[in-house]
Amino acid sequence: MTDEPTIQQLADSVGFELPENFNSARLLWDNLVQNAERPAVIHDSGTWTYSELANEAAKIGNSLKAYCSPGDRVLLLMDDEPAYPAAIMGCMRAGLVPVLLNTLSTLDLIGYFLQDSGATAAIISDDFKDLLNEQVIKGSVCQGVLNAAQRPWANELIELPEHPTHRRDQAFWMYSSGSTGRPKGIVHLHEDAPYTAQTYSASILKLGIDDVCFSIPKIFFAYGFGNSVTFPMQCGAAAVLLSGRPTPEKIFEHIATHRPTVLFGLPTLYTALMHHQQAETADLSSVRLCISAAEILSEELASKWRSIFGLNIIEGLGSTEMLHIYLTNAELQLKPGSAGRVVPGYAVRLVNLDDREVEQGEEGVMHVRGLSATETYWNSPEKTTETMRDGWIVTGDCFVRDEEDFYFFKGRADDLVKVSGQWVYPMEIETTLNEHPKVRECCVLAVELEDKRLSIKAWVCLVEGVDGDEEVTRELQSFVKSRLLPHKYPRNIVYLESLPKTGTDKIDRQALRLLNQS
């Protein structure tokens, strides 16, 4: 493979420069020069200016010094509220490393995150206080848990000197969804977040100081982190934060009240909004741009959204490993069904099983390169070696590139699929479902819906004497949710007397796929 651009060449191509000594908290603090009194965060509890948010961040950073030393990790188990971006920035400015956790994590996973990260402190939203109880903390090195609702940092100083960090020092972590085995700690550096702002945000969003960003996906997602934290702070814009479950009613209410100019969602959420009764009367006139990522956007969905609201949905593809979007359509360059073209500052190649780069029109596994890419999974050397090869991230996604350099998703090389924007491994659900005492055997597959989104379907054979009714379906779904993350469960369960088998007496998965299509 020849003429592959280096990471430095890619950075140079977009004019990306940072001083060697750099701290990502400058994304917030740099706004104090000209934007101190402009709105930074808009929330049901009120609007916070950049000055107020920086003061809160400084207080949080100062309070953590009682439990942490520079370089220590701090778990953040928080809802989207003003204290969340303040905590992220306060940690980084103090030389600490915030670890953004999925708020749907189980008690078992929270305990694992504590042990794996070696976090010495944690900050929680009040709704999640039971997830970090004494039993979970026992045996870890965590010295303090701060409840954001109580603001234990209220009396701390609002001056927080920037801890000296190098641009390539650890800045923050996120954990993978753990689709195959335990979640992996994805380490990002201080240079990574500014890079996503100069590449994707600058070329696609073109945010200005008067923009208002509203991300329905939460901050703990890499997608939401960029949408609500990095991108608006980089240019002095504002971010609308929605606490709690983002129901269509709440989303429409926030759009009507706070008048966002850029709306970030994913196909599942756009579908829910379109089919809600308020869609007929909702006023989206303030919105100039709708962004979608995390799962396939069907042409039908995009067309229907456009017919109702008069807005295109701009689809892109990103990952936690890359921190944000590296393939995207553009407002004036859309191709339905495509993940788009390569974002300036990144490079993509498609490789076959022989490790040969494929030609246009041929299917291959996508490798992506760019400065924002993680370089390691924490405590996972084998997975790091498997996924990160010579500066490339091996995504496991199979794509085809057309004659105009648009990329089209064809499937997962390892059978991982995205459902509602989150990775799901059907075999993991199948294994768990088989543990239920009423299940004799089962098969779980990802199936394509009419609008091209993916869903999880289970074919189940029950033990003798048990009937497959709605009550049993709810019981099985609840059982899987309780063992795994809440999004990892079969949306549809079909009951059969027996499962089709191959000649070697294995479950005939292809037969079930054909049955699903019939």
Please indicate, yes or no, whether residues 317 and 430 belong to a single structural domain of this protein: no
Cβ pair 460, 496 in contact under 8 A: yes
Which residue from 122, 67, 62, 61 is spatially nearest to 89, judged by alpha carbons? 61
Residue 483 located in a structural domain = yes
pLDDT of the residue at 411: 67
Supply the pTM of this predicted model.
Answer: 0.84
3-state secondary structure (DSSP) of residue 133:
coil
DSSP code for 200: I
> Residue 480 belongs to what domain range?
425-517
Question: Which of 322, 355, 378 finishes a domain?
Answer: 322
Q: Which two tokens stand for residue 59?
A: 């207080």
Please indicate, yes or no, whether residues 168 and 307 belong to a single structural domain of this protein: yes
How far is residue 87's CA from residue 160's CA, in Å, rounded to a whole number?
Answer: 13
Please indicate, yes or no, whether residues 36 and 158 belong to a single structural domain of this protein: yes
pLDDT of the residue at 112: 95
pLDDT of the residue at 301: 83
Residue 504 carries which side chain, given as an amino acid letter? Answer: T
Provide the b/e sequence for 333-366 (b: ≥16 CB within 10 Å).
eebeebbbbbbbbbbbbbbeeeeeebeeeeebbb
How far is residue 175's CA from residue 92's CA, in Å, rounded to a whole number?
Answer: 18
Strand bridging mode 341-342 / 325-328: antiparallel
Which residue from 323, 245, 235 is spatially nearest to 487, judged by alpha carbons? 245
How far is residue 429's CA from residue 492's CA, in Å, rounded to a whole number?
Answer: 13
> With helix as H, strand as E and coil as C, how does 255-291 read?
HHHHCCCEEEECHHHHHHHHCCHHHHCCCCCCCCEEE
Domains: count for the chain: 2
Residue 151 located in a structural domain = yes
pLDDT of the residue at 504: 47
Residue 505 located in a structural domain = yes
Counted residue by residue, the chain has a size of: 518
Query: What is the residue-level pLDDT of the chain in tens, covering all 518 positions?
Result: 457 899 999 999 999 999 999 999 999 999 999 999 999 999 999 999 999 999 999 999 999 999 999 999 999 999 999 999 999 999 999 999 999 999 989 899 999 999 999 999 999 999 999 999 889 999 899 999 999 999 999 999 999 999 999 999 999 999 987 655 689 999 999 999 999 999 999 989 999 999 999 999 999 999 999 999 999 999 999 999 999 999 999 999 999 999 999 999 998 789 889 989 999 999 999 999 999 998 778 777 898 899 999 999 999 999 999 999 999 999 888 998 899 999 999 999 999 878 899 999 998 999 999 999 999 999 999 999 999 999 999 998 889 999 999 999 876 676 667 787 887 878 788 878 988 989 888 999 999 888 888 899 999 999 889 999 999 999 999 999 998 888 889 999 999 998 887 654 567 888 998 998 87
- Give the distance between the most distant pair of CA atoms in the chain: 72
pLDDT of the residue at 337: 84
Distances (CA, A) of 36 to 29, 72, 235, 239: 9, 29, 12, 15
Residue 464 located in a structural domain = yes
Torsion sign across C-alpha atoms 265, 269, 272, 275: positive
How far, in whole angstroms, is CA 344 from its chain's centroid?
Answer: 21
Which residue from 185, 254, 264, 255 is spatially nearest to 231, judged by alpha carbons? 264
Question: Which of 322, 350, 371 finishes a domain?
Answer: 322
Please indicate, yes or no, whether residues 433 and 302 belong to a single structural domain of this protein: no
pLDDT of the residue at 420: 76
Task: Please identify which residue in the block is written with the tokens 């000197």.
Answer: 161
Please indicate, yes or no, whether residues 33 and 176 belong to a single structural domain of this protein: yes
Please indicate, yes or no, whether residues 302 and 441 belong to a single structural domain of this protein: no
For residue 251, give the CATH number of its domain: 3.40.50.12780
Residue 294 carries which side chain, given as an amino acid letter? Answer: A
Burial of 2 (0-12, 13-18, 19+ CB in 10 A): exposed
State in Å, rounded, how far the first CA of the chain is from the last one.
44
Residue 385 located in a structural domain = no
Residue 279 located in a structural domain = yes
Please indicate, yes or no, whether residues 262 and 133 belong to a single structural domain of this protein: yes
Residue 178 located in a structural domain = yes
CA angle 499, 504, 505 (to 5 degrees): 25
Cβ neighbours, 10 Å, residue 388: 17
Per-residue model confidence as pLDDT tens digits over 386-407: 999 999 999 988 899 999 999 9
Number of H helices, E strands in the chain: 16, 26
Which residue from 308, 310, 237, 320 is spatially nearest to 279, judged by alpha carbons? 308
For residue 438, give the CATH number of its domain: 3.30.300.30
Question: Which of 322, 349, 381 finishes a domain?
Answer: 322
Which residue from 358, 353, 348, 287 is spatially nearest to 318, judged by alpha carbons? 348
Residue 452 carries which side chain, given as an amino acid letter? Answer: K
- Residue ranges of alpha helices (H) inside 372-433 are 381-387, 426-433
Cβ pair 35, 64 in contact under 8 A: no
How far is residue 81's CA from residue 50's CA, in Å, rounded to a whole number?
Answer: 15
Residue 24 carries which side chain, given as an amino acid letter? Answer: S
How far is residue 464's CA from residue 466's CA, in Å, rounded to a whole number?
Answer: 6
Residue 83 located in a structural domain = yes
Which residue from 104, 157, 96 is spatially nearest to 122, judged by alpha carbons? 96
